[in-house]
Amino acid sequence: MYQNPERTEYEALVSRLRGHYGNIDIGGYSHNDLLRLRKLDAQRAADVARAQAAQPLNEAIGHLNAAHRRAIAAWQKIEEGRKSIAGNTREHQILGFDMALIEPIEMPKKVEASAATIEANDEATADMSRVADSLEARARKINSAVSQWANYTPDQQNRALILAIADRLGM
């Protein structure tokens, strides 16, 4: 059984274009429609190539955004810990908690890449990751002190305070 090669090309074009653009108006099977479909297919191929070329840059930008989200999450944990420590500031001072950790800090700003290149975004991601790591470490220290104090019974809290004062006095 003979099948017209233009008909085969037409069906292949329609299949590719619908796969890329979704349900589009194709028209009927004619020479002009075939020319229009070839033009659309060339545009589809260019779109696909452009998207594939941009993928590594988009991934680098995504990594930078993820590092910024980590920094923001750590900053929020620090703020929550600061509020919790505020109710027991004197007790935490006696226990020797580093009060510099709860000094107010501003929300971390996103490190901007110097250029729209993968390398520039990778450098910005490294900088943002250092900021996030620092904030996460600070948040862990603060929230560790908060949770430790909250888990103590009143007797354990008193004992910890007495032992901290005795240690300072050298007893």
pLDDT tens track for 7-60:
777 777 777 777 777 777 676 667 777 788 888 888 887 877 777 766 788 888
The percent of the chain in helix, strand and coil, each rounded to the nearest 5, is 80, 0, 20
Q: Please give the Cα distance from 71 to 110 (Å, whole number).
A: 9
Degrees to nearest 5, angle at CA 161 with 157 and 166 = 150
pLDDT computed for residue 139 by the predictor: 94
- Residue 54, both tokens: 């941009």
CB 136 within 8 A of CB 70: yes
Residue among 76, 71, 73 nearest 111 (CA): 71
Degrees to nearest 5, angle at CA 165 with 160 and 168 = 125
CB 20 within 8 A of CB 48: yes
Cα separation values, 20 from 44, 53, 54, Å: 7, 17, 17
Q: Please give the Cα distance from 67 to 8 (Å, whole number).
A: 50
Residue among 138, 113, 137 nearest 127 (CA): 113
- Residue 142, both tokens: 């603060």
Length of the chain: 171
pTM of the predicted model over 0.75 = no
- Residue 124, both tokens: 């910005």
pLDDT digits (tens, 9 = 90+) for 111-161: 887 777 888 888 999 999 999 999 999 999 999 998 888 888 989 888 988
Under the banding of pLDDT at 50, 70 and 90, the label for residue 171 is low
pLDDT digits (tens, 9 = 90+) for 57-104: 888 888 999 999 999 999 999 999 998 888 888 888 888 888 888 888
pLDDT computed for residue 3 by the predictor: 64
